């Protein structure tokens, strides 16, 4: 299943809110502080809809 992932500073709450609106979910990574890893499924069957775009 195609996906994208990213790492961001956990303290960057504005970025986290942005990625949450796009549909990213947290990827559990032990001992990752101060970084949070997020992932998003992509591709024709990923379930991205209008809410992810607008």
Q: Chunked in runs of 10, what are the mean pLDDT values of the chain (54 residues)? A: 93 97 95 95 71 46
Separation in Å, CA 49 to CA 5, 17, 36: 19, 18, 24
Q: What digits encode the pLDDT tens for the residues 13-27?
A: 999 999 999 999 999
pLDDT at 46: 72
pLDDT at 6: 97
Angstrom distance (rounded) from CA 33 to CA 30? 8
Separation in Å, CA 3 to CA 10, 13, 26, 32: 21, 23, 13, 20
pLDDT at 39: 97
pTM, to two decimals:
0.76
Q: Are 43 and 1 a contacting pair, CB within 8 Å?
A: yes
DSSP state letter for 11: T
């Amino acid at each position: 299943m195609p996906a994208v992932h990213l790492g961001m500073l956990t303290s960057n709450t504005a970025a986290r809110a942005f990625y949450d609106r796009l549909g990213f979910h947290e990827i559990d990574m032990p001992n990752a502080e101060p970084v949070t890893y997020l992932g998003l499924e992509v591709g024709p069957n990923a379930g991205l809809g209008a809410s992810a775009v607008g």
